């Protein structure tokens, strides 16, 4: 039943095909022929060689791939931290691939919630203040920020840790603070980069349950990981190889391939 | 991000790094401290000079007719000195002519002086004092009040009564633990009956104004002060605005009496506290400029230190900048964060400098006769300088921070 939320390959091909045309509202992410080259001391590295990706609202997608496959580059572009050299990137109906710095900052603030492997909390700020931060840049008043940040921390069961600094919290608690921070502005996508990379397996499961809950609640979740068992929590798995998408499958297909030990990075 | 938000962030940052912040502030603090202190000392000197000249030596709104000026700043050339020596004496006839031509409301007095050493029945000798032979109007013009007894009257002056009004130090010296009123002070062997003791005057330029004796001009005192050549004739204008009229009137009388042609310069001098202070005021201007300029060197050093510290802060907090950018901070948010931090640092430095400057000025006031006072404008200048320096010093580091690539910044340790 939840798998209704996974787009089909045929649908995606149609959406991706229409260069220059805004996709319909149900598509939260559409990339068309995204390329990204880096100049590494005179040598040009092609990190992405034309990525076509379409993600429907409310999907829960894992992006996999070996190191050097371009998945980090793709995540940076999807997260509006970077822009492609060529191709289009539509996020929530906006063409972000042509945006300037300050517009990208606004999009990051409103549309994207980041969850990082290393948590990336401000070490000297309390959990509450960390969660408040995106609202500071959204220009929300102090009282309103506090109220919403408290609410967000309650949702991740950390309302009793609000005045703790990151070094007074466990890894799992830190990641839950980061999730609360990512969701505070009701972003279009939750973008997680190896969210369990620094956690033990029990805490990883705990975080995956939080993600599962968010996805069932209708939050679009995109998770970059190199661990197949973490990727298997998503409903759709996109695998990158040499800067291109090498496979894009439902969880079931992916899991069966993992079990049989074929075609994985 | 609002300014208040940025300031709050800056203060929490400063609180975390107290020691480093303290050293950062030092340059600005020292600069501002000296700015405040030097300006207030120069101001204090100004107040002291005005007080000394206007209040004590030359009198408020008062023109002192003399043969040549008593108060000189800067060098007197030999030629000038010779010219002064050739000038005619100021005579009693001159004084009376001025009195007869006095503009309405103006007051007049003769003040002839010499340095003398009196005696009393109790004390045979003592330090020299200033002996005045003055007409009765002298006390009013000089605004002198008695703490005991009374001053002499016009009649006593006309009759040449051998009475004397003495300064408080003179009273204590010659009449130790005694009531001096009614007792005799011997001046050059002649007895003068003490009728009044002046209120304490204090001193000016190291000269005690409480060591004096004032007797009527027509009393035997004038024998000692030499009435053929009067020390001064005082004319007090009723208001500061009337000063130039009164001065003009006195000048006219004297030029007429000395038969000066229009082409000839005055062969007498008209001194007022304004004229005596004019030289000082031009010096004061330079002193104030120096008072601003020298601390400016401290401020420049302070600015360089702040810029350095801010560059270090940007480097240390690269990851924080990356996190903030990933959460939606725009360039100007990062820019203002670091600018406000630099400005807050240097304004704090300035504030501490102002406090220390106040203390320094107080200290100078306590150990010297200068009534130092902190000029309000120097506090305003100090605060503005502090903020300005912070912003200038913070501009480059802040712009560097704001241009950091978020991906690289997030990856930094």
Q: What is the ipTM of this complex?
A: 0.92
Measured between beta carbons, which residues in chain B are less than 8 angstroms from residue A102?
Answer: 330-332
pLDDT confidence of residue A73: 93
Q: Are strands B163-166 and B212-216 parallel, antiparallel or unpaired?
A: antiparallel
Instruction: Mean pLDDT check: name the lowest of A54-68, A82-96, B60-74.
Output: B60-74
CA dist B193 and B182 (Å) reads 6
Look up the domain containing A35 and give its range: 2-260
Contact state of B328 with A120 under an 8 Å Cβ cutoff: no
- Distance, in Å, from the CA atom of B259 to the CA atom of B249, rounded to the nearest integer, reads 15
pLDDT in tens, A58-90: 999 999 999 889 999 999 999 999 999 999 999
Kindly report which listed range (A19-33, A91-105, A171-185, B263-277) carries the lowest average pLDDT score.
B263-277
If you average pLDDT over residues A249-263, what whole number do you get? Answer: 79
pLDDT band at B13 (very low <50, low <70, confident <90, very high): confident
Query: What pLDDT is stored for residue A1 in this prediction?
Result: 41
The model carries a pTM of: 0.71
Pick B327's closest partner by Cβ from A82, A109, A124. Answer: A109
Cα separation of A183 and A111, whole Å? 10
pLDDT at A265 (0 to 100)? 45
Put simply, whether B406 touches A (Cβ < 8 Å) is: yes
* DSSP-H helix ranges across A2-98: 9-17, 71-78
Residue B70: is its pLDDT beyond 80?
Answer: no
Residue A37 near residue A85 (C-beta atoms within 8 A):
yes
Q: What is the pLDDT of residues A132-160, one digit of tens each?
A: 999 999 999 999 999 999 999 998 999 89
Using CB atoms, pick whichever of B319, B320, B328 lies closest to residue A108.
Answer: B328
Q: For position A2, what pLDDT does the model report? A: 47
Shortest alpha-carbon distance between residue A113 and chain B (Å): 8
Confidence tier at A4 by pLDDT (50, 70, 90): low
In a domain, A265, yes or no: no
Q: Which of A14, A161, A11, A16 is nearest to A88 (CA)?
A: A16
Q: Determine what percent of chain B is predicted with pLDDT higher than 70.
A: 98
Residue A203's alpha-carbon distances to A116, A174, A207, B381, in angstroms, are 15, 11, 6, 58
Please check the confidence at residue B53 and state whether its pLDDT lies above 60.
yes
Are the Cβ atoms of B328 and A134 closer than 8 angstroms? yes
The pair phi, psi for residue A140, each rounded to 5°, is -85, 145
- Please check whether residue B326 touches A, CB under 8 A: yes
Partner-chain residue, chosen from A79, A114, A136, that has the shortest CB–CB distance to B5: A136
| Inter-chain touch B326–A114, beta carbons under 8 Å | yes
Could you tell me if B329 lies within 8 Å of chain A, comparing CB atoms?
yes
Residue A188 lies in a domain: yes
Tell me phi and psi for residue B185, to 5 degrees.
Answer: -110, 130
pLDDT of residue A262: 62
Helices (H), B101-233: 138-141, 154-159, 168-174, 221-225
Residue A8 lies in a domain: yes
* Residue A131 falls inside a structural domain: yes
Of the candidates B1, B319, B407, which has its C-beta nearest A81's C-beta? B407
Q: For residue B328, give the nearest of A76, A109, A121 by CB distance.
A: A109
C-beta of residue B314 within 8 angstroms of C-beta of residue B338: yes
Cβ–Cβ under 8 Å, residues B215 and B133:
yes
pLDDT at B2 over 70: no
Judged by a CB distance cut-off of 8 A, whether residue B11 touches chain A is: no
Whether A109 sits inside 8 A of B5 (CB atoms) is no
Instruction: Provide the b/e sequence for B232-264 (b: ≥16 CB within 10 Å).
Output: bbbbbbeeeebbebbbebbbebbbeeeeeeeee
- Give the closest of B323, B330, B333 to A120, CB-based: B323
Any CB–CB contact under 8 A between B17 and chain A? no
Ranking A178-182, B226-230, B326-330 by mean pLDDT, the lowest is: B226-230
* Coil vs helix vs strand at B87: coil
- Which residue in B has a C-alpha nearest to residue A191's C-alpha? B326
Chain B closest-CA separation from residue A166 CA (Å):
14
Smallest CA–CA separation between A133 and chain B, in Å?
A: 7
Which chain B residues have a beta carbon less than 8 Å from that of A174? none
Chain B residue numbers touching A109 (CB-CB < 8 A): 327-328
Task: Tell me whether B320 touches chain A (CB under 8 Å).
Answer: yes
* Nearest-by-CA chain A residue for B332: A102
CATH of the domain at A138: 3.40.50.300
Collect all residues of chain A within an 8 Å Cβ-Cβ radius of residue B404: none
In this prediction, residue B72 carries a pLDDT of 67
- The structural domains of chain B, with segments of one domain joined by +, span 3-52+278-411, 60-271
Window 35-94 of B: residues touching A by CB (8 A cutoff) are none
Which residues are CB-contacts of B97 (< 8 A; sequence separation ≥ 6)? B253, B257
Over residues A178-196, mean pLDDT:
95
- Probe site for chain A from B327, B340, B401, B404 (most A CB atoms < 10 A): B327
Choose among B16, B325, B329: nearest Cβ to A124.
B16
Residue with tokens 């990158």, as numbered in its chain: A240
Is the CB of residue B325 less than 8 Å away from at least one CB of chain A? yes
**pLDDT average, residue stretch A213-226:** 94
The separation between CA A27 and the C-alpha centre of its own chain, rounded to angstroms, equals 15
Q: How far apart are CA B334 and CA B336, in angstroms?
A: 6
Query: Which class for A236: exposed (0-12), middle (13-18), buried (19 or more C-beta within 10 A)?
Result: buried
Residue in A82, A121, A96 with CA at minimum distance from that of residue A31: A96
> Mean pLDDT: which of A242-256, B13-27, B38-52 is highest?
A242-256
Residues in chain A with CB shorter than 8 Å from the CB of B333 are: 105, 137
More confident residue, B38 or B52: B38
Q: How sure is the predictor about A5, in pLDDT bands with cuts at 50, 70 and 90?
A: low
**Which residue numbers of A have CB closer than 8 Å to B's CBs?**
76, 79, 81-82, 101-102, 105-106, 108-110, 114, 116, 120-122, 124, 133-134, 136-139, 181, 185
Q: CA of B4: which chain A residue's CA is closest?
A: A142
Residues of A in contact with B2 (CB under 8 A): 139
Residues B310-369: tens digit of each pLDDT? 998 899 899 999 999 999 999 999 999 899 888 888 888 899 999 998 898 888 888 877
DSSP result, B286-353: HHHHHHHHHHHHHHHHHHHHHHHHHHHHHHHTHHHHHHHHHTT--HHHHHHHHHHHHHHHHHHHHHHH
The confidence score (pLDDT) of residue A22 equals: 87
Helix (H/G/I), strand (E/B), else coil: A125: coil
The residue of chain A nearest to residue B331, with distances taken between CA atoms, is A102
Q: If you average pLDDT over every residue of chain B, what do you get?
A: 87
Q: How many domains does chain A have?
A: 1
Model pLDDT for residues B103-145, shown as the tens digit of each residue: 888 999 999 988 999 988 898 888 889 999 999 999 998 888 8
B399 touches chain A (CB under 8 A): no
Å from B341 to nearest chain A CA? 16
Mean pLDDT, chain A, rounded, equals: 91
Local confidence band at B413 (pLDDT 50, 70, 90 cut-offs): confident
Confidence of residue B374 (pLDDT cuts 50, 70, 90): confident
Phi, psi dihedrals of residue B362, rounded to the nearest 5°: -60, -45
- Considering only residues A262 and A101, tell me which one the structure prediction assigns the higher pLDDT: A101
Residue that has been written with the tokens 């004084």 in this structure: B95
**CB of B328 within 8 Å of any CB in chain A?**
yes
Residue A15: inside a domain:
yes
């Amino acid at each position: 039943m939840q798998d209704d939320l996974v787009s089909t390959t045929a649908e995606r091909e149609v959406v991706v095909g229409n260069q220059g045309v805004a996709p319909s509202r149900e598509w939260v992410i559409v990339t068309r022929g995204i390329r990204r080259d880096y100049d590494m001391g005179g040598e040009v590295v092609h990190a992405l060689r034309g990525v076509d990706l379409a993600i429907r609202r409310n999907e829960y997608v894992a992006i996999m791939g070996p190191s050097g496959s371009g998945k980090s580059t793709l995540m940076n572009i999807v997260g509006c931290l970077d822009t492609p050299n060529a191709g289009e990137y539509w996020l929530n109906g906006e063409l972000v691939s042509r945006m300037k710095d300050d517009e990208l900052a606004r999009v990051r603030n409103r549309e994207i919630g980041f969850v990082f492997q290393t948590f990336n909390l401000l070490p000297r700020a309390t959990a509450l203040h960390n969660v408040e931060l995106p609202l500071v840049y959204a220009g929300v008043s102090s009282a309103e920020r506090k109220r919403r940040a408290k609410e967000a921390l309650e949702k991740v069961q950390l309302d009793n840790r609000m005045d703790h600094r990151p070094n007074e919290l466990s890894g799992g608690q830190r990641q839950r603070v980061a999730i609360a921070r990512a969701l505070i502005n009701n972003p279009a996508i939750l973008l997680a980069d190896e969210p369990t990379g620094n956690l033990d397996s029990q805490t990883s499961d705990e975080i995956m349950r939080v993600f599962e809950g968010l996805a069932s609640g209708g939050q679009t979740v995109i998770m970059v990981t190199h661990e197949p068992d973490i990727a298997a929590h998503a409903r759709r798995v996109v695998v990158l190889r040499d800067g291109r998408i090498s496979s894009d499958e439902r969880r079931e297909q992916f899991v069966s391939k993992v079990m049989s030990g074929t075609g994985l990075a | 991000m609002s300014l208040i938000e940025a300031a709050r962030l800056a203060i929490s940052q400063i609180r975390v790094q107290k020691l480093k912040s303290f050293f950062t502030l030092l340059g600005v603090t020292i600069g501002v401290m000296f700015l405040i202190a030097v300006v207030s000392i120069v101001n204090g000197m100004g107040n002291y000079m005005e007080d000394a000249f206007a209040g004590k030596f030359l009198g408020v709104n008062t023109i002192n007719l003399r043969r040549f000026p008593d108060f000189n700043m800067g060098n007197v050339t030999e030629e000038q000195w010779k010219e002064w020596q050739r000038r005619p004496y100021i005579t009693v006839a001159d004084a009376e002519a001025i009195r007869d031509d006095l503009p309405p409301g103006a007051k007049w007095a003769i003040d002839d002086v010499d340095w003398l050493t009196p005696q009393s029945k109790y004390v045979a000798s003592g330090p020299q004092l200033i002996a005045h032979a003055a007409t009765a109007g002298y006390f009013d013009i000089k605004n002198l009040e008695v703490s005991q007894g009374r001053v002499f009257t016009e009649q006593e002056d006309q009759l040449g009564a051998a009475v004397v009004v003495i300064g408080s130090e003179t009273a204590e010296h010659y009449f130790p633990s005694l009531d001096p009123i009614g007792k005799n002070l011997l001046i050059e062997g002649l007895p003068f009956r003490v009728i009044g003791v002046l209120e304490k005057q204090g001193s000016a330029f190291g000269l005690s104004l409480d060591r004096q004796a004032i007797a009527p001009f027509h009393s035997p005192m004038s024998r000692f002060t030499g009435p053929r050549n009067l020390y001064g004739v005082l004319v007090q204008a009723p208001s500061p605005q009337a000063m130039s009229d009164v001065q003009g009137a006195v000048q006219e009388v004297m030029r007429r009496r000395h038969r000066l042609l229009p082409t000839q310069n005055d062969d007498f001098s008209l001194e007022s506290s304004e004229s005596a202070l004019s030289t000082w005021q031009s010096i004061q201007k330079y002193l104030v400029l120096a008072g601003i300029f020298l601390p400016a060197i401290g401020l420049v050093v302070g600015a360089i230190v702040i810029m350095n510290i801010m560059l270090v802060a940007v480097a240390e907090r690269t990851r924080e900048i990356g996190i903030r950018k990933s959460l939606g901070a725009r360039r100007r948010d990062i820019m203002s964060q670091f600018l406000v931090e630099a400005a807050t640092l240097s304004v704090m430095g300035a504030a501490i400098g102002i406090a220390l400057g106040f203390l320094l000025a107080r200290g100078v006031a306590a150990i010297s006769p200068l009534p130092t006072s902190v000029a309000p404008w120097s506090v305003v200048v100090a605060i503005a300088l502090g903020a300005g320096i912070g912003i200038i010093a913070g501009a480059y580091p802040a712009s560097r921070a704001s241009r950091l690539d978020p991906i690289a910044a997030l990856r930094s340790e």
